[in-house]
Structure 1
Amino acid sequence: MPSLPRPATGPGSRYTARAATTRPRPTPRHLNIAALTRRLTPRDLWLARMLHEHQVLTTDQITRLLHTGRRSAQRRLRTLHRCAVVDSFRPLTATGSAPEHYTLGPAGAALLAAHAGLDLAATGWRPTSTGRIAYSPWLGHDLGTNDVLTHLAAHHHEHPDIHLELWLSERSCARRWGDIIRPDAYAHWRDGEHLLPFFLEYDTGSQPLARVEAKLTGYAAFRTATGSTPALLIHTRTHSRDQAIRHRLTSAARELNLPVATTSADFTTDSPWGPWWTPLGPSSHRTTLTRLPVHWADLTPAAGLAPTDADTALTLPVPPLPPTEEPTS
């Protein structure tokens, strides 16, 4: 089957930031964090935690998670930007216009540190953080990863019995398992009685197939070392790349006894929960995320998820969806 056209912009495209524009904002002499307590809602604080965890989210991704109108989301984001809770930039793309990209701002970082009872340095935030993200060659990769997971999380708005229970970023995964594996994300997909714990590898096509195959050895070592068996989901950008990965990895996954499924953005678009995932194997057919645990009966959540004494409020998992908005009187 031939590959479908690649989108010109956004997470499914090949764009990287060549330049970035930032919104002007008056710079106060001192950040008055205490004055923000009467202006910020629990959803604002949740967003600050999400940006600390996942580094960068676009307007569309934030709107999707907040389950609100785009204009309402933009108005609130502008307010948070003026308060320095968030920073923003818009990358220069080869064609078209990129959406606004949001990162954690100085006041947002200070708020998180204050809530955790830690120094600002503990957040990892620096005045150059937004610039590093804006010009990072991995920007498209990070946005693609976040796009898949935000679609999964937001699916709960339309189907309350289906939800993304847990979503750990690449940094959180590295903090827990970095001596063995470094996935792009780890998550739990819950549909009724079916639980799919999975690692996500978001493949942009930039790595040689041999390097992608080499990652399977690490996941096999993780399974041996921890005794836990999450699935490994590989999301590629095009169907042709997906086919190449499947041809290269099928034998290795079978020899290592790893539960691996693949798909591509040509199929998932804005519904990655759908029947687009194909387990590696000679006679496998596409299926949904919910049906994958039926295909692999021995799946178990990853070891190392329980909080330890080394954890702080900044290292604990962030709920994938915001707290419920309280009605105004």
Structure 2
Amino acid sequence: MSDQVLRAQSTLTVRDHVLLGWLADHGVLTTPQIAHALFPSLDFAQRRLRRLLEVGVVDRFRPLKTDGGSYPYHYVLDQLGAEITAVHRDQPPPRPSQTKARRRRWTVARVLQHRIGVNQFFTDLAGYARTHPDHDLRRWWSESRCGDVGVFAGPDSSVELQTGPAPIRPDGHGIWHAADLQVPFFLEYDTGTEPLTELVRKLDGYHRMVRYGGPRWPVLFWLHSADRAHHLHQRLAEQTQWAPVATASRDHATRAAVGPAGPLWWLHGHHGLLTLADLAVALPYLQHADHMPDAFGRPFAAYRRSEPPKG
């Protein structure tokens, strides 16, 4: 371990390490996202971020708006922060060229917009949990982590495997705890630019995974508008649903001044809006040991060639 890494580590708090880990996993976070998720105030967050910038563990950039002005600062890992995170995870440190390429990738507007939107969903949950002691975002996995082979394997997936990629590619995966309730979920973040047929098509992988022993956790569509949610549910009524689907819209969230933890979720086939935690009540099987996250994770190179389990 280099002297520079040792010196930097001596200045970092537990919260700093959480932030560096998030940046390593999720690429880029804005000042307001970091402040809401981890700090008691925006001023406190800004002071600490300036200090981390001086130490050299993070870097930042500020995109310009097309109609004038600029967005808030966007924070990414610098090389020193990437090396420190690698040390904590017992991983080989990335080469400087890799870290630089990763930083530059987030300056591409289309890629950045989608990632910031996904990260906003999870930092909203983390911020809610920070101010509500009986709630907790127990897991936040990125799209790339979800794509690793084997992470959502069923207990019987070792039978007749055929090689291939993971069956799903969600924008994220999380586990939300509220008191004694637990909701593992997959997130599909919608920008409003894809046709509804594409959103429905994304469900094919989830349905297939469930049929072959994978987790039957709810798929959350965080949609562009309430009107889009209505039309999506009309499409879903025409499909056989193996995996539960719930929708919520960002325009509704804005009007109601609540985040994704709140009573926004329309579970397909269920009447009335639910909080995220309420999904555990509407889907009581989620509390059964067979559906807990620990029940999955054996190598799932692809699917069994045999027929899916019945029931």
TM-score by length of 1: 0.77
Q: Which residue number in structure 2 is paired with residue 262 of structure 1?
A: 247
Q: Which residue number in structure 1 is paired with residue 93 of structure 2?
A: 120
- Cα offset, 1:244, TM superposition: 2.3
In structure 1, list runs of 5 or more residues that go unmatched.
1-29, 309-329
Structure 1 residues 237 and 171: alpha-carbon distance in aligned structure 2, compared to 1, 3 A threshold: same
Contact 1:229 1:301 in 2 (8 A): no
- Equivalent position to 2:174, from 187, 198, 206: 187
In structure 2, list runs of 5 or more residues that go unmatched.
153-164, 300-311
Which whole-Å CA distance do the structure 2 matches of 1:213 and 1:303 have between them? 28
- Equivalent position to 1:215, from 179, 183, 202: 202
- Cα offset, 1:302, TM superposition: 4.7
TM-score by length of 2: 0.81
Q: 3-state DSSP class of the match of 2:285?
A: coil
Taking the TM superposition and a 5 Å limit, the aligned residue runs for 1:119-138 are 119-121=92-94, 125-138=98-111
Equivalent position amino acid for 1:274 in 2? G
**2:34 is the counterpart of 1:62:** yes
Q: Which residue number in structure 2 is paired with residue 75 of structure 1?
A: 47
Equivalent position amino acid for 2:40 in 1? T
**Which of structures 1 and 2 has the larger relative contact order (alpha carbons within 8 angstroms, sep 6+)?**
1
- Equivalent position to 1:198, from 140, 164, 185: 185
Which whole-Å CA distance do the structure 2 matches of 1:112 and 1:196 have between them? 28
Contact 1:183 1:200 in 2 (8 A): yes
**2:265 is the counterpart of 1:277:** yes
Range that drifts further, 146-155 or 113-122: 113-122
- Cα offset, 1:52, TM superposition: 0.3
Runs of 4+ in 1 over 6 A off after TM superposition: none
- Cα offset, 1:122, TM superposition: 8.1
Q: Which residue number in structure 1 is paired with residue 220 of structure 2?
A: 233
- Cα offset, 1:307, TM superposition: 9.1
Q: Which residue number in structure 1 is paired with residue 277 of structure 2?
A: 290
- Cα offset, 1:124, TM superposition: 9.4
Structure 1 residues 88 and 266: alpha-carbon distance in aligned structure 2, compared to 1, 3 A threshold: same
Q: Which residue number in structure 2 is paired with residue 326 of structure 1?
A: none
- Cα offset, 1:287, TM superposition: 1.6
How many residues are aligned here? 276
- Equivalent position to 2:122, from 146, 149, 171: 149
Which whole-Å CA distance do the structure 1 matches of 2:20 and 2:285 have between them? 36
Equivalent position amino acid for 2:89 in 1? A
- Cα offset, 1:184, TM superposition: 0.7
Q: Which residue number in structure 2 is paired with residue 17 of structure 1?
A: none
- Cα offset, 1:225, TM superposition: 2.2
**2:143 is the counterpart of 1:170:** yes
- Cα offset, 1:123, TM superposition: 10
Q: 3-state DSSP class of the match of 2:169?
A: coil
The root-mean-square deviation of aligned C-alpha atoms, in Å, is 2.4
Structure 1 residues 144 and 305: alpha-carbon distance in aligned structure 2, compared to 1, 3 A threshold: farther
Q: 3-state DSSP class of the match of 1:187?
A: strand
Which whole-Å CA distance do the structure 1 matches of 2:237 and 2:91 have between them? 47
Structure 1 residues 123 and 292: alpha-carbon distance in aligned structure 2, compared to 1, 3 A threshold: farther
Which whole-Å CA distance do the structure 2 matches of 1:34 and 1:274 have between them? 42
- Cα offset, 1:294, TM superposition: 1.7
Which whole-Å CA distance do the structure 2 matches of 1:44 and 1:292 have between them? 32
Equivalent position amino acid for 1:267 in 2? H
Q: Which residue number in structure 2 is paired with residue 101 of structure 1?
A: 74
**2:14 is the counterpart of 1:42:** yes
Which whole-Å CA distance do the structure 1 matches of 2:138 and 2:83 have between them? 28
Structure 1 residues 112 and 235: alpha-carbon distance in aligned structure 2, compared to 1, 3 A threshold: same
- Cα offset, 1:304, TM superposition: 7.3
Contact 1:279 1:286 in 2 (8 A): yes
- Cα offset, 1:49, TM superposition: 0.8
Which whole-Å CA distance do the structure 1 matches of 2:237 and 2:107 have between them? 36
Q: Deviations over 1:293-313 (max 9, x none)?
A: 2222223245776599xxxxx
Equivalent position amino acid for 1:205 in 2? G
Equivalent position amino acid for 2:111 in 1? W
